[in-house]
Homo-oligomer: A and B are copies of this chain.
Amino acid sequence: MNRVGIIGYGITPFTKKDHSTESALLESTRRLFVENPEIMPKEIDAVLVSTNSNTKYLSPILSEMTGVSPKISHTVESLCSSGTNTIVSAYSYIASGLADLVLVAGADRYDSPGQVLEWDNSRGQYKHPVFWASIFSKAYKRRFSVSNEQLAIVPVKNHKQAKDNPNALSEKICTVEDVINSKKITKDLRLLECSRPCTGSASIVLGSEDMVKRLAHSPVWITGIGQKTTSAGFTKNIPSNFMESTKIAGRMSLEMSNKHAKNIDVAEIHDAFSVCEPMALEALGFSADGKGMHTIQELHETDNFKINPRGGLIGAGHPLGATGIAQTIEVTQQLQSNAGNRQVDDPKVGLVHNMSAAATSSTVLVLET
Contacts and interface: CB of A to CB of B under 8 A. Distances in A.
Interface string A218-255: 00000001111111110000000000000001001000
Q: Which of A54, A56, A82, A94 has the most C-beta atoms of chain B within 10 angstroms of its own C-beta?
A: A56
Interface residues of A, number: 58
B95 A97 contact: yes
B97 A229 contact: no
Q: Which of A69, A78, A360 has the most C-beta atoms of chain B within 10 angstroms of its own C-beta?
A: A78
Given A74-B82, A76-B76, A82-B74, A1 B56 contact: no
Interface string A53-94: 011111111011000011111111111001001101101111
B78 A77 contact: no
A160 B249 CA distance: 51
A96 interface: yes
A97 B60 contact: no
Contacts of A52: 56
Number of copies: 2
A52 B75 CA distance: 10
A356 B57 contact: yes
Contacts of A97: 1, 95
Contacts of A228: 69-71
Nearest to A112: B56
Contacts of A229: 47, 59-60, 63, 69-73
Interface string A253-293: 00000000000000000000000000000000000000000
Sorted from nearest, which 4 A-B pairs have the closest CB atoms? A95-B96, A74-B78, A60-B232, A96-B96
